[in-house]
Structure 1
Amino acid sequence: MTKSMVWSGLDLDGEGKQADYLRIPHSVDTSAYGWVPVPLIRIRNGTGPTALLCAGNHGDEYEGQIALLDLAREIEAKDVRGCLLILPGLNYPAVAAGRRVSPLDEGNLNRSFPGQAQGTPTQMLAHYITDMLFPRADFVIDLHSGGRSLEYAHCGLGHYGRGEETDTKIRELLEVFSAPWSILTQGAGGGGDTTLYAAAAARGIPAITAELGGGARVDPVGLRHAADGTRRALAHWGIWTAPDLRTPETPTRLARTLPRPTSLYAMHSGLFEPFCQPGEAVQAGQPAGRLHHHEQPLLPPTALQFSASGVISCRRALAHTRLGDCLYHLAELL
């Protein structure tokens, strides 16, 4: 594999607590030899497991960013056995812009794995994570929410089908994180192994994504699930035990994503009026909402209905809708 062009002043194998940047080279008109910062915190004390904790993979998803910023300030190296690598603003150009994708190259980091060593800034970052951070990690948590366009049921997602040993470890991580829902997926929405958690799972690393809200706002309950689930995982692997470690109020409910044809998409532009909530159980044929023709006001709205029974894993957050926009995704209980 070609050597990464991303570098850092941070010694990943060093001891103690230290913050610095990953530096992605980026040559533009006003900065010929400049670099793009990606904040990285390393907290290490002796030997033990390594946790790779990420948020801000999409810049308009905030619960995980806040949870990891709080965590990085709280944990001291003397209380750790092993290592934490924390990236609270992973796709930093997108984070700074409050966007899903990077304004530098329109790159969606969570569709860019395994990346390219000499590609665009987003591709270079994905390559560095794959080449330099994955080999160090004993488990990976990538904290998400629905961003500007979606609202998610609070859930952990695990990419299954990687072999019995890896699948078992992913199920274990989902159970320890213990979001209200744990959903097994084969990554159809991300196009296979192009997402961070799928790329990690392809290398035998237990990895999950957590979807904990949406609408480009901070969901207080989702923030609590992000913080509590991450703390439980660190305690389970013996890296750090939080003084206020909380057990989940109820056991996580296991589900599996339904095939893409069961999802509901907009068949024309308009205003989306939803009838159902994320996490709600629905039946095939049940009314799902209406799509209003705002450009042709005398046309009756299009009646929407579910084509399959299941649980709503996510729903469109925005009313303004275009042809091809996803309105609902479904999962089935296991």
Structure 2
Amino acid sequence: MTNDTRIWTDVDFDKDGKQISCLRLPFSSDRSAYGTIPIPIVCIRNGVGPTALLISGNHGDEYEGQVALSKLARQLDAGELRGRIIILPALNYPAVDAGRRVSPLDQGNLNRMFPGDANGSPTDMIAHYVSEVLLPLADIVIDLHSGGTSLLYLPCCLIRVGKTAAETARLVELMHVFGAPIGSISDGSGGGGATTLSATAQALGIPALTTELGGGASLSRAGEKLARDGVLRVLKHMGILPDAIVEPAGPTRSMRVDGRQAFTYAPVRGIFEPAVAVGDEVQAGDIAGTIHPTAGPSEPARSVHFAQSGLVACQRAPALTEPGDCLFKLVVDMPLPQVPRINLAA
């Protein structure tokens, strides 16, 4: 893998003011031999100060963050800042434009391809540019996700356990500043593991917040508002938007995924009838739902049960399921030590 990115832009990241432009992703096709795919980017800078990298559209069918960051990009002026904000509201633009989780160009799941490859597929090239060019500029990265087409999510903010106690404390403080109802803390072993944007940021020593804000291929008004308010709270906390008027954060319940049995999977194909909803508390052995075979009553219905107790953090949105589809994810309470206040603007 080379460090020389093939993506370029006319944005000058060291220039004061507000620049609205794009990254140019080279993509040669039958209809456009020398073509590029424009990825929207906004850089707002005012003198010396911390840099926040704000991202949405990592998965194209997750809409709350895309709308929230687009609103912020339009509203913010350089004079309000002390430092720099870099906004990419549609990072995986081919997937965003298609309304899909993965890119239609190469079937690439961007948040499973970090740190990327400059000479790889289009999705590899995007991951590489973020890893090699944008992350080194950042003092914090916020990557806004939702449940997408396949999941409905309880709004939450996610962090990974830091490499030191001080790093973890810093992340926990930022998570509470963001102010989602649920704060989920991961040891990094689940999901995309070491191939996510947050994992790459952590390897570079950059604090990273991730969210889940809604889903079901719709736009949650509450999720979009939480994205906007949470981002503004963090920017004010870090001194980047010192005079921003923000709503105070509500309480955040600190939770975690307790192993692989937190997930409930479909054992057979059929129409899934859930017995519980996102936000419900369940006990091990409780019925999660029933799968009704598409063949009709000639085949028996199949009950599905929870393997452990916990809070339902997400639920499958489409009723039609295949074996192996995730139906539910549970989280459990996680006691945390007192977190010291840290001045991140210093």
Structure 1 length-normalised TM: 0.97
Matches of 1:100 and 1:75 in 2, distance apart? Answer: 28
Q: CA RMSD in A?
A: 1.3
Partner of residue 265, structure 1 = 265
Output the CA distance in 2 between the equivalents of 1:127 and 1:195: 12
- Which residue of the partner structure matches residue 208 of structure 2? 207
Structure 1 residue 116 corresponds to structure 2 residue 125? no
Contact 2:162 2:171 in 1 (8 A): no
Letter of the 2:115 counterpart: P
Per the alignment, residue 141 of structure 1 pairs with 142
Cα-to-partner distance string for 1:209-239 (whole Å, 9 max, x where unaligned): 1100000101111111101100000000011
User: Could you tell me how far 1:189 is from its partner in structure 2?
Assistant: 4.0
Contact 1:42 1:85 in 2 (8 A): yes
Matched residue SS, 1:103: coil
**127-136 or 30-39, which deviates more:** 30-39
Are the equivalent residues in 1 in contact too, given 2:82–2:242 (CA < 8 A)?
A: no
Q: How many residues align?
A: 333
Task: After TM superposition, give the deviation of residue 190 of structure 1 in Å.
Answer: 2.8
* Counterparts of 1:187 and 1:273, CA distance in 2: 31
TM-score calculated relative to the size of structure 2 = 0.93
Indicate how the Cα distance of structure 1 residues 274 and 30 shifts in structure 2: closer, same or farther if over 3 A, else same.
same
Partner of 2:340: none
For residue 12 of structure 1, report the CA deviation from its aligned partner.
1.2
Look up the match of 2:8: 7
Q: 1:159 Cα deviation (Å)?
A: 1.4
Shift of 1:298: 2.2
**Aligned residues of 2:113 and 2:124 also touching (Cα < 8 A):** yes
**CA distance in structure 1 between the aligned counterparts of 2:192 and 2:221, rounded to whole angstroms:** 30
Q: Distance in 2 between matches of 1:273 and 1:15?
A: 54
1:161 to partner: Cα distance: 4.5
Q: Deviations over 1:41-68 (max 9, x none)?
A: 0000000000000011111110000100
Letter aligned with residue 5 of structure 2: S
Match of 1:331 in 2: 331
Q: Is the 8 A contact 1:37 1:92 kept in 2?
A: yes
Cα 1:190–1:246 shift into 2, 3 Å = same
| Structure 1, gaps ≥5 residues long | none
Report deviation, 1:173: 1.5
How do residues 1-334 of structure 1 correspond to structure 2 at under 5 angstroms?
1-241=2-242, 243-248=244-249, 250-334=250-334
Q: What amino acid maps onto 2:39 in structure 1?
A: V
Q: Kindly indicate whether the alpha-carbon contact (under 8 Å) linking 2:80 and 2:243 is maintained by their aligned counterparts in 1.
A: no
Q: Please give the secondary structure, in 2, of the residue aligned with 1:162.
A: coil
Point out where structure 2 has 5 or more consecutive residues left out of the alignment: 335-346
Encode CA deviations 1:196-216: one digit per residue, 9 max, x unaligned: 112211221110111000001
1:39 Cα deviation from its structure 2 partner:
0.4
Contact 1:93 1:103 in 2 (8 A): yes
Q: Name the SS of the counterpart of 1:190 in structure 2.
A: coil
Of 147-156 and 272-281, more deviation after overlay is shown by: 272-281
Identity of paired residues, percent?
50
Q: Does the 8 Å contact 1:166/1:205 carry over to 2?
A: no
Q: Distance in 2 between matches of 1:169 and 1:24?
A: 34
Amino acid aligned to 2:294: H
- Cα distance, 1:242 vs structure 2: 6.2
Q: Which letter maps to 1:190?
A: G
Corresponding residue SS for 2:173:
helix
Q: In structure 2, what is the Cα distance between the partners aligned to 1:25 and 1:256?
A: 40
Report the residue type matching 2:236 in the other structure.
A
Give the CA deviation at 1:317. 0.6
Work out the CA distance in 2 between the residues paired with 1:215 and 1:192: 24
Return the alpha-carbon distance in structure 2 between the equivalents of residues 247 and 7 of structure 1.
39
* Equivalent-residue separation in structure 1 for 2:183 and 2:88 (angstroms): 23
Change (3 A) 1:242 1:317: farther
Check conservation: 2:111, 2:192, Cα contact below 8 A.
Answer: no
Q: Which of 292-301 and 148-157 deviates more?
A: 292-301
1:179 positional shift: 0.3
3-state SS, counterpart of residue 144 of structure 2? strand
Aligned-pair distance for 1:243? Answer: 4.7
Q: Secondary structure of the equivalent of 1:315?
A: strand
1:296 positional shift: 4.5
Q: What secondary structure does 1:193 align onto?
A: helix
The aligned amino acid for 2:6 is M
1:107–1:122 contact (8 Å) kept in structure 2:
yes
